[in-house]
């Protein structure tokens, strides 16, 4: 629901966006008050919101738009006090990129101040040209994480280490979703080598009042091992993904979310002498085979270490055309997974996988 068209020019609030959320299992209405240079967010129970709706329409705004799944209602007023209620079929439902027949559930609202500060939307709240694709990615990412964490009921602070957080669009969205929408106590630390991005993200987090979100200038190899509930690595290149996996295992993480890219290590350590040799003489096919083996063997080692792993297609991430994601959830160790791992090594003449080296397995 959106309240707009200010009654008074001196009114500082441009508009108010309201949407239903659950906080600790109870229904609330999250309201974002948009100002020229900042946004303020407040959560109201249903009774409070209904009272405020009357006040806002009488004192602050002329218009209110209510967006439902299949229709939209517009309440319009003029300066003479005349009011009109309009109805129309919904035309602005966010659709999935692949034209599914069902409505895509929206997990994040790209109107927060942090999206402006990070360069995703303009000062007027409009998505930049690259913004729609990025927004689709953010929403899909939060949807995926929500399913991964569906059984989680944290008793204290839920800790997350984000390796190579970059400009942190997804990091901010994850923190906002877990802390605001789910009402969790969350501590997320983003690790990034680029000092300017660390400074920018810390500044934005401070402006937003995200006390549990911080960024540190450090590479994966410099992050101290400590108890962590979840490890994220969305831009880890080549063996950096293996380092993130090993870090998560050593920290006893219950969840891992990984988007591998640039799988070069296995390709440089393969000597294929099997029925696929005539096919893999072509560089592009050898590269793709190495990618499949790299990520498939990572999944096997995760299963061996007691994780339920899943490898699937994901919305392509920034900086890379790869669209494979690996998620892992703590479960029971599978000794047979290690047998499968070594069988693949032998079949494809692989000297070693960097992750097995980090795990100190017999090469």
Smallest CA-to-CA distance from 172 within 230, 120, 127 is with 120
Measured between alpha carbons, how far apart are the two ends of the chain, in Å?
Answer: 59
Structure confidence at residue 97 (pLDDT)? 37
Are residue 216 and residue 80 in the same domain, yes or no? no
Mean pLDDT by 10 residues, the chain (363 residues): 86 87 88 79 93 93 83 84 79 37 56 71 63 79 93 94 92 91 93 94 90 95 93 91 96 96 88 87 90 95 97 68 86 96 94 95 82
CA quadruple 216, 220, 224, 226: dihedral sign: positive
Are residue 246 and residue 186 in the same domain, yes or no? yes
Domain annotation covers residue 126: no
Smallest CA-to-CA distance from 317 within 245, 214, 195, 233 is with 233
Domain annotation covers residue 44: yes
CA 139 to chain centroid = 7
Domain annotation covers residue 110: no
Residue written as tokens 């970059």? 166
The sheet carrying 61-67 orders its strands as: 39-44, 26-34, 15-23, 2-6, 61-67, 71-77, 83-89
Q: Please state the domain count of the chain.
A: 2
Domain annotation covers residue 253: yes
Q: What is the domain-level CATH number for residue 169?
A: 3.40.50.150
Are residue 248 and residue 352 in the same domain, yes or no? yes
Are residue 32 and residue 150 in the same domain, yes or no? no
Are residue 58 and residue 150 in the same domain, yes or no? no
**Which stretches does DSSP call E strand in 38-78?**
39-44, 61-67, 71-77
Structure confidence at residue 124 (pLDDT)? 56
Q: What span, in angstroms and rounded, lies between the C-alpha atoms of 61 and 184?
A: 33
- State pLDDT tens for residues 4-29: 888 888 888 888 989 898 888 889 99
Are residue 151 and residue 287 in the same domain, yes or no? yes
Domain annotation covers residue 146: yes
Q: What span, in angstroms and rounded, lies between the C-alpha atoms of 290 and 269?
A: 10
- State pLDDT tens for residues 285-324: 999 999 999 999 999 999 999 999 999 988 765 544 557 8
Are residue 68 and residue 182 in the same domain, yes or no? no
Burial class (CB in 10 A: 0-12, 13-18, 19+), 149: buried
Task: Please give the residue range of the domain that contains residue 227.
Answer: 141-358
Domain annotation covers residue 128: no
Are residue 65 and residue 177 in the same domain, yes or no? no
Are residue 222 and residue 322 in the same domain, yes or no? yes
Structure confidence at residue 25 (pLDDT)? 83
Are residue 239 and residue 322 in the same domain, yes or no? yes
Bridge partners, residue 59, by sequence? none
Structure confidence at residue 98 (pLDDT)? 34
Are residue 79 and residue 155 in the same domain, yes or no? no
Domain annotation covers residue 123: no
Are residue 350 and residue 284 in the same domain, yes or no? yes
Domain annotation covers residue 247: yes
Whole-angstrom CA distances from 341 to 61, 70, 73, 190, 303 are 64, 50, 58, 32, 10
Smallest CA-to-CA distance from 202 within 319, 108, 117, 317 is with 117
């Amino acid at each position: 629901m959106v309240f707009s068209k200010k009654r008074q020019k001196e009114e500082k609030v441009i508009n108010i966006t309201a949407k239903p959320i659950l906080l600790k299992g109870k229904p609330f209405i999250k309201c974002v008050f948009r100002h020229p240079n900042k946004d303020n967010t407040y959560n109201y129970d249903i009774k409070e919101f209904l009272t405020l709706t009357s006040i806002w329409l009488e004192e602050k705004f002329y218009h209110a738009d209510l967006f439902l799944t299949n229709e939209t209602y517009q309440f319009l007023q003029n300066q003479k006090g005349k009011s009109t209620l309009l109805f129309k079929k919904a035309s602005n439902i966010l659709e999935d990129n692949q034209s599914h027949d069902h409505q895509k559930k929206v997990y994040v609202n790209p109107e927060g101040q942090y999206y402006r500060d990070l360069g995703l939307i303009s000062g007027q709240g409009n998505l930049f040209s690259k913004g729609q694709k990025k927004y689709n990615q953010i929403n899909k990412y939060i949807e995926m994480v929500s399913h991964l964490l569906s059984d989680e009921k944290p008793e204290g602070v839920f800790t997350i280490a984000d390796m190579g957080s970059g400009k942190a669009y997804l990091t901010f969205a994850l923190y906002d979703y877990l802390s605001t929408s789910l009402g969790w106590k969350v501590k997320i630390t983003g690790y990034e080598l680029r000092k300017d991005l660390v400074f920018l993200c810390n500044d934005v987090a401070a402006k937003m009042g995200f006390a549990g979100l911080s960024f540190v200038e450090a590479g994966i190899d410099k992050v101290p091992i400590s108890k962590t509930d979840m490890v994220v690595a969305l831009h880890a290149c080549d063996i950096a993904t293996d380092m993130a996996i090993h870090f998560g295992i050593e920290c006893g993480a219950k969840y891992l979310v990984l988007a591998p890219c640039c799988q070069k290590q296995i390709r440089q350590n393969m000597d294929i002498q099997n029925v696929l040799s005539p096919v893999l003489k072509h560089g592009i096919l050898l590269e793709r085979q190495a990618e499949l083996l790299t990520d498939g063997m990572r999944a096997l080692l995760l299963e061996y270490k007691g994780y339920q792993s899943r490898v699937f297609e994901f919305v392509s991430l920034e900086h890379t055309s790869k669209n494979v994601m690996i998620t892992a959830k703590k479960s029971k160790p599978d000794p047979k997974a290690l047998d499968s791992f070594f069988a693949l090594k032998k079949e494809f003449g692989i000297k070693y996988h960097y992750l097995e080296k980090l795990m100190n397995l017999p090469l």
